[in-house]
Amino acid sequence: MASPLTVHEHHHFEKATEALKQEHRIIEKVLGAVEKLTKSPGEIPVELWEKAIDFIRNFADKCHHLKEEGLLFPALEEHGIPREGGPIGMMLFEHEEGRGYVKAMVTALSHAQQDPQAARTELFQNARAYLRLLREHIAKEDQVLFEMVDSALTPEEHKKLLREFDEHEEKELGAGIHEKYLAIAKDLEDRLG
């Protein structure tokens, strides 16, 4: 069943920021599922955590954040918005911070069998820190950074970025990646909603 959030073709958007905002909405669904996982008592449902982390690493980070880092931010720099300090520097710092939390979540999950109590504490702490960080990060991008992008870039530059987003996905992650991760987001939401 096709999800109303199908995003694979970015060319039905007018602006690069519209495509990125729609990806934010998908990421938020998975953040909601992760929040529910941090509140579930009993044994750690390893399979669900692995699914959520796969989504975070490959969709939120490799697909979404790397588009920003490799394509969007350089386009802003061309318009005189510096990489160091200011919003771009802050976004890059937060992307790295998020990767640190996710790495710690993966490590904690790998200890779920040997030491469930310690693993649970470590996993939940890092997941909650990641949730806080990413929700604030998304709000900053939606409300501040993307406004800057929209006022700096021409319609042609937006179209060029949208084409480059599609190319980035194909090259980095292969065809059909949006469909795969939309299905994972939907599955997590259905099972934890």
Q: DSSP assignment of the chain, as one string?
A: ---TT--S-GGG-SSHHHHHHHHHHHHHHHHHHHHHHTT--SS--HHHHHHHHHHIIIIIIIIIIHHIIIIIHHHHHHTT--SSSHHHHHHHHHHHHHHHHHHHHHHHHHTTTT-HHHHHHHHHHHHHHHHHHHHHHHHHIIIIIHHHHHHHS-HHHHHHHHHHHHHHHHHHH-TTHHHHHHHHHHHHHHHH-
Yes or no: is domain 19-192 CATH 1.10.10.10?
no
pLDDT the model gives residue 11: 54
* Tens digits of residue pLDDT in 92-115: 999 999 999 999 999 999 999 899
pLDDT the model gives residue 161: 96
pLDDT the model gives residue 172: 82
Indicate the domain borders of the chain. 19-192
* Tens digits of residue pLDDT in 109-150: 999 989 999 999 999 999 999 999 999 999 999 999 999 999
Average pLDDT, stretch 21-41? Answer: 95
Residue 9 has pLDDT above 70, yes or no: no
Average pLDDT, stretch 143-160? Answer: 95
* Tens digits of residue pLDDT in 36-65: 999 988 888 999 999 999 999 999 999 999
pLDDT the model gives residue 193: 74
- Confidence band (pLDDT; 50, 70, 90) for 4? very low
In this structure, of 3-17, 138-152, 172-186, the range with the lowest mean pLDDT score is 3-17
Average pLDDT, the chain: 91
Residue 2 has pLDDT above 70, yes or no: no
